[in-house]
Amino acid sequence: MTNTQKLIQAALDCLENSYAPYSHYNVSAAVLCASGKIYTGVNVENASYPAGICAERNAISHAVACGEKELTAIAIVGGANYSASDYCPPCGICRQVMREFSDPQKLIVIFAKSVTDYKQMTLEQLLPESFGPEMLGK
């Protein structure tokens, strides 16, 4: 199994933990950090809709909570009723959070239906002309 397939499999393995009782659209993500460690997250909806969190931001927050600050890849799986039936690109907020913890030219973003059926792009392709921490003097 390739590293890409391992990352996709980690996202697939976590999909059943998604909490989406309102939209019934379940999403899971797995991030690969520069350390080589993988962290997962799922979407968690809330009756007060804006209080929910996307799987991608959940996985990134998990990584950051464990001391990671540099992402190298992220795999995203999702679809209705716990299926990985759609290519599931990240929303705009998630793209911006990815930007905070990566080099947009190097971060690989993978949308997968299975370990053999996936698309991948760089974050720069998904978020061109992005605003990042270096613009604030970091």
What does the pLDDT read at residue 137?
80
CATH class as words, domain 3-136: alpha beta
DSSP strand E in the chain: where? 25-33, 38-42, 71-80, 108-112, 118-122
In whole numbers, what is the pLDDT of the chain averaged over residues?
96
Residue 134, CA distances (Å) to 12, 63, 100, 101 in order = 34, 21, 9, 11
> Is residue 45 annotated as part of the catalytic site, yes or no?
no
Q: Which residue among 45, 56, 100, 124 is the active-site one?
A: 56
Percentage above 70 pLDDT, the chain: 99
**Whole-structure pTM over 0.85, yes or no?**
yes
Q: Residue 138: pLDDT above 80?
A: no
Asked if residue 15 lies in contact with residue 78, where contact means CB atoms within 8 angstroms, the answer is yes
Model pLDDT for residues 14-71, shown as the tens digit of each residue: 999 999 999 999 999 999 999 999 999 999 999 999 999 999 999 999 999 999 999 9
Domain range annotation of the chain: 3-136
Q: Residue 99: pLDDT above 70?
A: yes
